[in-house]
A and B are shown apart, each in its own frame.
Chain A
Amino acid sequence: MTARLRRLSLALAALLADRGAAISLAFLVVVTLLAAGAGWLPMDAMRQDILKALEPPSAAHWFGTDELGRDILARVILGARTSLQTAAGAVAIAAVVGIPMGLVAGYFGGWRDTVLMRFVDVLLALPGILFAMAIIAVLGRSQMAALIAVGITGVPNFARITRAQVLSLRSRDFVTAVEAFGASSGYAMARTILPNAWSPIMVQAIVLASLAILLEAALAFLGIGVPPPTPSWGEMLRTGKNYLHEAPHYAVLPGIALTLTILSFDTLGRAMSRVLEDRHGQAMPAGDRQEEGR
């Protein structure tokens, strides 16, 4: 176990040696802490003060106020909570559904592969945002609907990356070896293949988190995401867009928070995949592979 901890801390050290990754991680930690501790902060995201609507940034309101005179900074911080919650839930849904799909499809091949991958093809045949919109059209507008919609659009990512990993690991001798010892297919999948596939799957999870935040914000921007009064970045941009002349800060500042969060996840994900490539001395298998008879 200590050996594993050592490996983990080594990987983390290698990751933090990358300046971009270190900054991104620090930023995400700060955002997460703020979002978690939003209740203890001195600003109130809900208190309206119509007389002070659309004020530019000031000492009292660092990010200014919105059309109802609410403090934008406080709403941005609460928006982070919405954003991160939705992203975490969505990634979890995508992983829980997608990883087993990819495992089974890649390991057994044959009709299971055909059926599961056709299903993934259908999910992919619609652009993610349209798919999410269709799901919301059915479920109605709520935070849970947004979470499920974003989560389902992420299923193909996990299913494909897992399947690609399984396919490349499947033919490796150490998998054949445990089969030769008489291990069950469950053992081979869960104990031998999956532990070797974790790293690229983790990278995928991070990348997907950035996509989920983007998608959640886009849905809110279109007016079909997390419904008001829950603050969300996308919703703030949607409203702020109506006051570009009067209060340009309204549409700009929440966008900065959103963009930095997305960029941080993206940078972190790419740095992770670079570190893994260096450690394994090879590019990670990216695409699917045709398996012929042998």
Chain B
Amino acid sequence: MSAPVLSVRGLEVDFAGSGRPVPVIRGVDLDVHPNEILCIVGESGSGKSVTALAATGLLPPTARVRGRVVLDGTDVTGAPPEVLRRLRGEAVGFIFQDPTTTLNPVLPVGRQITEGQVAHGRLRQADAPARAAELLGEVEIADPEGRARQYPHQFSGGMRQRAVIAMAMAGRPRLIIADEPTTALDVTVQAQVLDLLRRRQAETGAAIVLITHDLGVVAEVADRVAVMYGGRIVETGPVDALFARPRHPYTTALLESLPRLDTRGGRLDPIPGQPPLPGALPAGCSFHPRCRLAAGRPRCAAEEPALRPVGAAAAGQAAACHFAEENPRPKPPATVAEAAASAAAAAPLLQIEGLKVHFPLRSRVLRLTRGHVRAVDGVSLTVRAGETVSLVGESGCGKTTTGRAVMGLVPVTGGDIRFEGRSVVGLRRLAMRGVRRHMQYVFQDPFSSLNPVLPVEDVVAEPLRIHGLYDSFGGARYIARLFEMVGLSPTMFGRYPREFSGGQKQRIGIARALALKPRLVILDEPVAALDVSIQAQILNLLQDLQRELGLGYLFIAHNLSVVRQISDRVAVMYLGRVVEESDSDTLYEAPAHPYTQSLLSAVPVPEPAGRTGRGRIVLTGEIPNPAAPPGGCTFHPRCFRATDRCRAEAPAFRPHPGLPSRVACHHAGPPGTGASAERTEEAAP
């Protein structure tokens, strides 16, 4: 094997804040070879991003770095700034998470792509525009010459990330560091960008270090994987071996706690507890308080295990666990035959019919209405007691607005919303208040949905106080019961929201939503901001509560795996409309709408075996501006089955023959059938 492009030995990083230094990286060794994709995967606080920044000397001055990092033959640690600077421009390229902030808003994109090369004297200023256009062309941006002269705000999110890739590739670097490069992108755009990244890597032979929290992305692109926990690599190995036979209990637990697209599970198997904070690591093996194998063994609590080879030498796997040999294979994802029971029989709790929410676009000066954003443009849906109905779609599809319209938080333009048979559209405030008692909302971001100046006890009690029911519901005793119901201790009463972790905050948010004993709960991306291991805990809690209390859930999410895990019925939204609706199994196993099909095929599956054979529909383009949706079927510009009819005529939302689904498509049908004679890897533009 050729010499590694990047070689890290004994890397340690402390952040010296105002108090004592916090160890963030505690001894990391890794090698990255040319033409290889190494994925570093871990939860928040595991130190994965810091590792990559430290390897290139990009950490802020408050960080203390020890160890040895050799990058492209140059020792980085202790290298003078000038050497590091040259190295960064020539040997390494970077792709960061959020393409909206990575690019400088006031400089043309083309200039930003090439300026590094110009600064290093590797490109003449006169040749820069041509080179920028060439690079943009290589990342498949149409009209590269014109685009190079534009500013970042004129690019869509996916195009910006392409431009960032072009920038990273500008110096033909031997190593590319990509820090969560697709986390900020929608799933169909993520598929495009990952695909592009992999192809550009293969063409240039560069090595890539890709940092992610998403095991699906790892399985899609990695050659080798390093799993980080508590500032160390706890397991490393080739991607196939690591997914098939993980050697560290954390890796196993992570895989088991993951909701999956390909199987319908009953309950997830979450990792108990929370990922440790770098400032407060447990002694010994930092995973032992959450570990199945540790189970009170004194050695785990006393001695930090070294990363050592485990299993067959040829497999190349290593794990940092005293008892790695005992680590079991991950349980095959359980497929529970669902007793699709009472739900269908129950009376409908919530009925949405033809809901429309249009926001006026006003001119800035005279506030004249210039047009409308059709945020929601015809959504029909029914939720029954004890049932979970999910609204799924990419950003801007109108799923959150639908939820807010149900709560009466945004004005309804057209259609009807009925709660227990009574229309709630246009209710006056007091009447709406009566209805709101029975409908509650759980927010996406647990960090912003709790009032920071109230102790958590008052946060949970607030809805009761607003409705004047605090005493009649049992006062502090009732609040304590709610706390226990969501798995929190009432001893935490006097604390403030910021003293809690994300998962705990979301539990508080759920307790608050349950305080008024609602019958319907609208869950707006309740687990999107949480780490994988915490996500499973919350999903289980939600399922338990639903069973106990007979709640109806309207579950709003973009993550198709999570949706599959929890839903009885699923509705897929695109540009303000439901394009397909069915029971969960049918929708996932026999999707009829081309958008559903491409959405499902774009989701990275945590199963590296057979990733090459997976026929994937990669959609071109991105979601159009909802203020000016395309005519006819709004999906037609991106659809691989689009015909002239689609361009002219909007399809009706109607039952699909042979399936318990309703679909809005002229050419609906299972993948590879019907009008889709040309089932393609690449969709037609």
Contacts and interface: CB of A to CB of B under 8 A. Distances in A.
A177 interface: yes
B360 interface: yes
A173 B373 CA distance: 22
Interface stretch (A131-139, A155-163, A179-187): A179-187
Most buried by A among B364, B448, B450: B448
A292 B440 contact: no
B17 to A, nearest CB: 11
A292 B359 CA distance: 9
A229 interface: no
Interface in A225-265: none
Contacts of A9: none
A293 B444 CA distance: 21
A284 interface: no
Contact of B441 (A172, A180, A294): A180
Contacts of A173: 443-445, 448-449
B362 A293 contact: yes
B462 A178 contact: yes
A245 B445 CA distance: 68
Given A180-B441, A293-B373, A294-B373, A174 B449 contact: yes
Contact of B443 (A177, A290, A292): A177
Most buried by A among B359, B449, B455: B449
Contacts of B367: 114
A176 interface: yes
Nearest to A175: B451
Contacts of B360: 293
Contacts of B451: 174, 177-178, 192, 195-196
Nearest to B524: A173
Interface in B381-409: 401, 404, 407, 409
A3 interface: yes
Nearest to B447: A173
B452 A196 contact: yes
Contacts of A178: 451, 462, 466
Chain B residues touching A, range:
35 or more
Interface stretch (B166-174, B202-210, B431-439, B476-484): B431-439
A51 to B, nearest CB: 61
B292 interface: no
Contact of A181 (B375, B429, B443, B466): B466
Contacts of B429: 182, 184
Nearest to A279: B498
A181 B453 contact: no
A181 B467 contact: yes
B375 A174 contact: no
Nearest to A181: B463
A174 B466 contact: no
A116 to B, nearest CB: 15
A55 B278 CA distance: 68
Contacts of A187: 466
B361 interface: yes
A182 B515 CA distance: 14
Contacts of A3: 455, 494, 496
Contacts of A195: 451, 453
Given A293-B359, A293-B361, A293-B362, A176 B463 contact: no
A3 B497 CA distance: 13
A277 B582 CA distance: 49
B588 to A, nearest CB: 30
A187 to B, nearest CB: 7
Contacts of B441: 176-177, 180
A111 to B, nearest CB: 9
B288 interface: no
Contacts of B467: 181-182
B409 A179 contact: yes
B449 A177 contact: yes
A3 B458 CA distance: 13
A196 B453 contact: yes
A131 to B, nearest CB: 27
Interface residues of A, number: 22
Contacts of A181: 436, 440, 462-463, 466-467, 516
Contacts of B496: 3
Nearest to B432: A182
A287 to B, nearest CB: 16
A196 B497 CA distance: 13
Nearest to B357: A294
B334 to A, nearest CB: 34
Most buried by A among B364, B373, B436, B451: B451
A192 B452 CA distance: 10
Contacts of A292: 361
A192 B449 CA distance: 12
B264 interface: no
A292 B360 CA distance: 9
B512 interface: yes
A11 B361 CA distance: 43
B667 to A, nearest CB: 32
Contacts of A184: 429
Nearest to B464: A181
Interface string B187-229: 0000000000000000000000000000000000000000000
A114 B365 CA distance: 11
B18 to A, nearest CB: 9
Contact of A182 (B359, B361, B436, B449): B436
Interface in A162-207: 172-174, 176-184, 187, 192, 195-196
B440 A180 contact: yes
A177 B451 CA distance: 9
Interface string B33-52: 00000000000000000000
Nearest to B626: A294
A178 B367 CA distance: 29
Contact of A176 (B409, B436, B462): B409
Contacts of B407: 180
Nearest to A172: B448
Contacts of A196: 451-453
Contacts of B361: 292-293
B21 to A, nearest CB: 18
Contacts of B375: 294
Interface string B363-375: 0100100000101
A183 B362 contact: no
B518 to A, nearest CB: 10
A243 B5 CA distance: 78
A184 B468 CA distance: 13
Interface string B96-122: 000000000000000000000000000
Contacts of A192: 451
B495 to A, nearest CB: 8
Contacts of B440: 180-181
A230 to B, nearest CB: 42
Contacts of B433: 182
Contacts of A176: 404, 409, 441, 443, 449
Contact of B448 (A174, A179, A294): A174
Most buried by A among B362, B407, B516: B407
A183 B466 contact: yes
Nearest to B442: A177
A172 B364 CA distance: 24
Nearest to B515: A181
B519 to A, nearest CB: 15
Given A181-B462, A182-B432, 14 more contacts: A3-B494, A114-B367, A173-B445, A173-B448, A173-B449, A176-B404, A177-B451, A179-B409, A181-B516, A182-B436, A182-B466, A182-B467, A187-B466, A196-B451
5 tightest A-B contacts by CB?
Answer: A293-B359, A173-B449, A182-B433, A181-B463, A173-B443
14 contacts: A3-B455, A172-B449, A173-B444, A178-B462, A178-B466, A180-B409, A181-B440, A181-B466, A182-B429, A182-B432, A182-B466, A182-B467, A192-B451, A293-B359
